[in-house]
Amino acid sequence: MPYTPVCRLSSLMEGDAAPYTVEGREVILLWPEGGELQAFNGLCPHQNVPLYRGEFNGRYLTCPVHEWVFDGRDGSCVRGEECSLPKIPLRVVNGIVEIETRASTAPSAA
């Protein structure tokens, strides 16, 4: 599977959220406290609102529009409709965070 570099791991810290646009796709990296770095689709599955405008408290990401809440460890919705953030496979190679960019992980048209 092809991977695309996103950022240096050293630019992130545990408890951080960081938005990126990778090949025209909105991506959000979440590093929950006590957990592992995760990559998710950066748009809320409800109305495609950019999640970087929301609040990440070190564990939960809250959508800025309807206050849906997603668990930063696995993307599951803990408040709102039954849905989850699409997870994107990632890896760290030589200190660089890379995400999988195969066609099947591309967001669907709204």
Residue-range domains of the chain with CATH: 3-100 (2.102.10.10)
Say if CB 28 and CB 40 are below 8 A apart: yes
Is the Cβ–Cβ distance between 99 and 110 less than 8 Å?
A: no
CA 26 to chain centre: 9
Question: What digits encode the pLDDT tens for the residues 4-42?
Answer: 999 999 999 999 999 999 999 999 999 999 999 999 999
Task: Please indicate, yes or no, whether the overall pTM of this predicted structure exceeds 0.85.
Answer: yes
Strands 96-100 and 87-88: unpaired
The answer to whether the CB of 81 falls within 8 A of the CB of 70 is no
49 three-class SS: coil
pLDDT in tens, 46-84: 889 999 999 999 999 999 998 999 999 999 999 988 889
